[in-house]
Amino acid sequence: MSSARTHGGELERGGAADHALRIEHLEVAFRIGRRERRVLSDLSLAIRRGESYGLVGESGCGKSTVALAATRYLARNGRVSGGRILVDGQDLLSLAPRELRRLRARSVAMVYQDPGRALNPSMRIGRQMAEVFEVAAGLGGRAALERAAEMLARVQIASPERVLHNYPHELSGGMQQRVVIAMALSMNPALLILDEPTTGLDATVEAEVLELIARLHAELGNSILFIGHNLPVVARVCDRVGVLYAGELVEEGPAASVFADPRHPYTVGLLRCIPGYGTSKNQGRLETIPGFLPSPGSSGGQCVFAERCANATGRCRSEAPPPVDLGGRLSRCFYPERAPALPRQGATPEESRAPPVPRGGAQAAQGGGPAAPYAVSDGAAPPILRTRNLSKTYRVSGKPLQAVKGVSLDLWAGETLGLVGESGSGKSSLAKLLLGLAAPDAGSEVELAGEPLPALADERGFEQLKSLQIVFQNPGSALNRSQTVRRLIGRALRLAGLFGRAREARLRELAASVRLTPRHLDEKPRQLSGGLKQRVGIARAFAGGPRVVVCDEPTSALDVSVQSAILNLLVDLQAQQGVSYLFISHDLNVVHYVSDRIAVLYLGRLLEIGPAQAVFAGPHHPYTAALLSANPGLENRGRRRIRLSGELPSALNLPSGCVFHTRCPRKLGSICEREEPPLAPAGARHAIRCHIPAAELGAARPAAAPPQDAPAPGG
């Protein structure tokens, strides 16, 4: 074995190494407690020079471990138990410390999530960037700083000199990520590793960063290893793609073909789970992948996906399939040709061959297009929830911060109003106001079922509390970790006035309605997966039979395959009980799927509100247009992106007139700076807040905006 290894090593070193990264049969294990768990098994992949490779997978699949292994930066309890890694032609695992440092300085660079933390908070940007040149190229102070400024200009930061003097906390998230990217590319490394670089960034910022990466890739020609869980994002940036499941590479190939014509049941399932652009709940349920992720290293001797695969045969459960070469693609499956015909999970077995049944009932079955929302009136009946002039101003060191400004909206029984907005839009503040967790400004009115609603939760009666509930974003923090599921839901049933046997009966009913088994009732949150925890949260919200449920990013913290099951559940509950949802999310496809109507928030102001299809198709507000164009939907790849100029203004210093005018690509002129536009009608139950009349808004798109400005001083 060892002779073969050195032989291969010599070959690589001797000849022209045309791979920036070559991983061969890599095995990585972590010591957790007293046991060793295998996190990566028999992983082999190769990235040519100049190629961009995307590694996708859900949480726990091991993709970040690949990145850390490729830089030899595994945690203390991790080790490489087998295989080889060749970076820029050098055998990574056998390098001496000095050679390793040289490799890190010159040949490989890494960019990861949360750029703010990747920068040293007590060092100026210039100093941190200059370090790279000092180490790798031996440049001195002045020269290094000049090169640093050059790199900053390259990542489209205007006034690089100013930024060099800044500290990291003085820059916005997007700017910080640019700096980190500039630092990574300073020495033009052979391999650039990006580990979830845009997770946590707003959609518009994310789109900019991705474009930047693509452009630099084209200019500089380094190889890219892009790690992510968001398939459309990866598809945009990468030539080839690898799908990782439970530590094994189950499929690999050119990005376009893998996503258009997947050849592994897992990839098929994953792609089906994502709500397509423009689909709605009325067209049918979302696909799910049944079962659960195996714990790392637990499935030896069989196909790692067999437990959850509808195509699985006895062979799959007794033998581990080797990678099968399909001509430029590979799939770790015994039956890759059967993958596209994987039976759909959303429908019952009898319907598995029939097309998905639309949910709109008779109305929907008639028309060819998306059905009209069911159980929703045409606006004649009184709304179940109504807000007028809802505002919230916080005080931050004496200065007013207007989080929500004059939001008036109506929500009817049985419908879902989607709320879209990026960070700083005020959507979470709005949720808090509705629920009574924060006190609104004077002049705000909220009515529930026709009755005025007291501002704070402590002032509301049980009936009111029952009727307006919430499902939180983070299931981990939403459940009291010291209580069992039975207690968690049980305490909510107190609100419904149920005790003793009636309570127990209702408890079981609720648990069943969210697909929890009785066994789960006695478990504590830490024993449950994210999806299960979220189901408990949903059961709790529905305990009192609510009329309105605020869903605050209920699936953002969950994996794609789990997300679709939860969304299906929410929609089912709505159909059964006629409950209304205020659905907050940053994911436009999810919002469109779930919502009947959509509202768009920006800096606390309602910019647009209308039926989901109308808001998506147009005419719509320029901000909505930009958001939609930033959406990296898989079908979206041909679209030109609308770029917004400037940075998000600080909420402490709101722009005068229209809040969007500082970044609007269709700004009319000084009127936008002086006067705030009213909400003008733009179709049936559709309103847009813009000075430009609706008819003109639907017109052709403008040209791209000029490059980024430097950050305003003071952040």
Partner 1 sequence: MSALSASAAPPAAAARSRAAERLHAALRSPTLISGAAILGFWILCALLGSRITPLDPYADDLLATLAPPSAAHWFGTDQLGRDIFSRVIVGARDILIVAPLATLLGTVLGTALGLAIGYVRGALDDTVSRVIEALQALPLVIVALMALAAVGTSNVTVVLVIGFVFTPLIARTVRSAVLIESELDYVAAARLRGDGTLAVMFIEILPNVLPIAVVEMTVRLGYAIFFVASLSFLGFGIQPPSADWGIAIAENYSLIGSYWWTVLFDAAATASLVVGVNLVADGLESVFET
Partner 2 sequence: MIARFLVKRALLSLITLAILSVVVFLGGQLLPGDVGRAVLGPLADARAVAVFNHQVGADRPLWIQYWDWIAHFLTGDMGESFTFRAPVAPFIGAALLNSLKLAALAFVLVVPLGIAGGVWAAMRVGRWSDRALVLLGQTLGVVPEFISSIVLILVFGVWLRWLPMSADWPEGAGGLTQLRYLILPSVPLVLVFFGYVARVARLGTIEALDADYTRTAILKGLSMPTVIRRHVLRNALLPTITVTASLLGYLAGGLVVIETLFHYRGIGALIYSAARAKDFPMLEAGVLTVGAVYALASVAADLLSAALDPRLRSGRT
- Binding residues (CB under 8 A) for partner 1: these are 288-292, 294-295, 345, 435-437, 457-458, 460, 462, 465, 469-470, 472-474, 477-483, 491-492, 494-495, 515, 517, 523, 527-529, 531-532, 540, 561-562, 565
Q: Under the criterion CB under 8 A, does residue 106 sit at the interface with partner 2?
A: yes
The answer to whether 665 and 588 are in contact (CB under 8 A) is no
477 interacts with, out of partner 2, partner 1, none, CB within 5 to 8 A per kind: partner 1
Q: Please state whether 159 falls in left (phi above 0), alpha (psi between -120 and 50) or beta.
A: left
Q: Under the criterion CB under 8 A, does residue 653 sit at the interface with partner 2?
A: no
Q: How far apart are CA 658 and CA 680, in angstroms?
A: 14
Nearer to partner 2, 189 or 336 (CB): 189
Nearer to partner 1, 39 or 130 (CB): 39
Identify the residue among 132, 216, 407, 614 touching partner 2 (CB under 8 A): 132
Nearer to partner 1, 233 or 488 (CB): 488
Q: Under the criterion CB under 8 A, does residue 101 sit at the interface with partner 2?
A: yes
β-strand partners of 252: 242, 330
Please report, as residue ranges, which positions from 167 to 226 form the binding site for partner 2 (by CB under 8 A).
167, 169-170, 180, 183
Identify the residue among 6, 11, 94, 123 touching partner 2 (CB under 8 A): 123
The DSSP secondary structure of 154-194, one letter per residue, reads HTT-S-HHHHHH--GGGS-HHHHHHHHHHHHHTT--SEEEE
345 interacts with, out of partner 1, partner 2, none, CB within 5 to 8 A per kind: partner 1
Q: Under the criterion CB under 8 A, does residue 595 sit at the interface with partner 2?
A: no
Q: How far apart are CA 651 and CA 63, in angstroms?
A: 37
Identify the residue among 121, 138, 300, 638 touching partner 2 (CB under 8 A): 121
Query: In the 3-class helix/strand/coil scheme, how is 452-491 assigned residue by residue?
Result: ECCCCHHHCCHHHHHHEEEECCCHHHHCCCCCCHHHHHHH
Q: Under the criterion CB under 8 A, does residue 27 sit at the interface with partner 2?
A: no
CB of 112 to partner 2, least distance (A): 7
Identify the residue among 39, 55, 109, 250 touching partner 2 (CB under 8 A): 109
Nearer to partner 2, 71 or 204 (CB): 71
CB of 74 to partner 2, least distance (A): 12
Strand, coil or helix: what is 112? Answer: strand
Nearer to partner 2, 170 or 410 (CB): 170
Sign of the dihedral defined by the CA atoms of residues 519, 521, 522, 527, in that order:
positive
Identify the residue among 86, 87, 105, 433 touching partner 2 (CB under 8 A): 105
Q: How far apart are CA 417 and CA 202, in angstroms?
A: 21
479 interacts with, out of partner 1, partner 2, none, CB within 5 to 8 A per kind: partner 1
Q: What residues have CB less than 8 Å from 15, skipping those under 6 apart?
A: none
Q: Under the criterion CB under 8 A, does residue 36 sit at the interface with partner 2?
A: no
CB of 665 to partner 1, least distance (A): 37
CB of 437 to partner 1, least distance (A): 6
β-strand partners of 644: none
Q: State both tokens at 329.
A: 């693609």
288 interacts with, out of partner 2, partner 1, none, CB within 5 to 8 A per kind: partner 1
Strand, coil or helix: what is 214? Answer: helix
Identify the residue among 136, 157, 246, 543 touching partner 2 (CB under 8 A): 136
Nearer to partner 2, 99 or 509 (CB): 99
β-strand partners of 37: 30
CB of 690 to partner 2, least distance (A): 31
Task: Single out the residue of 688, 703, 668 nearest to residue 618, CA to CA.
Answer: 688
The answer to whether 654 and 402 are in contact (CB under 8 A) is yes
Helix (H) or strand (E) holding 225: strand 223-228
CB of 562 to partner 1, least distance (A): 5
Q: Under the criterion CB under 8 A, does residue 117 sit at the interface with partner 2?
A: yes
β-strand partners of 355: none
CB of 572 to partner 1, least distance (A): 13
Task: Single out the residue of 285, 323, 327, 287 nearest to residue 303, CA to CA.
Answer: 323
Q: Binding string to partner 2 for residues 55 to 74, with x set by CB under 8 A, is what?
A: ----------------x-x-
Please report, as residue ranges, which positions from 478 to 517 form the binding site for partner 2 (by CB under 8 A).
none
Q: What residues have CB less than 8 Å from 8, skipping those under 6 apart?
A: 84
Q: Under the criterion CB under 8 A, does residue 33 sit at the interface with partner 2?
A: no
The answer to whether 41 and 248 are in contact (CB under 8 A) is yes
Nearer to partner 2, 123 or 704 (CB): 123
Identify the residue among 104, 154, 432, 691 touching partner 2 (CB under 8 A): 104
Q: Please state whether 302 falls in left (phi above 0), alpha (psi between -120 and 50) or beta.
A: beta
> What is the separation of C-alpha 610 from the centre of its chain, rounded to a whole number of angstroms?
24
CB of 394 to partner 1, least distance (A): 15
Q: What residues have CB less than 8 Å from 299, skipping those under 6 apart?
A: 246, 306, 307
Counting every residue written for the chain, the total comes to 715
249 interacts with, out of partner 2, partner 1, none, CB within 5 to 8 A per kind: none
Please report, as residue ranges, which positions from 360 to 399 form the binding site for partner 2 (by CB under 8 A).
397
Nearer to partner 1, 122 or 517 (CB): 517
Strand, coil or helix: what is 698? Answer: coil
The burial class, CB within 10 Å (0-12 / 13-18 / 19+), for 701 is: middle
Q: By CB under 8 A, which span of 33-41, 162-170, 320-328, 510-518 interacts with partner 2?
A: 162-170
Q: Footprint of partner 2 on this chain (CB under 8 A)?
A: 71, 73, 76, 101-106, 108-110, 112, 114, 117-123, 131-132, 135-136, 167, 169-170, 180, 183, 397, 714-715
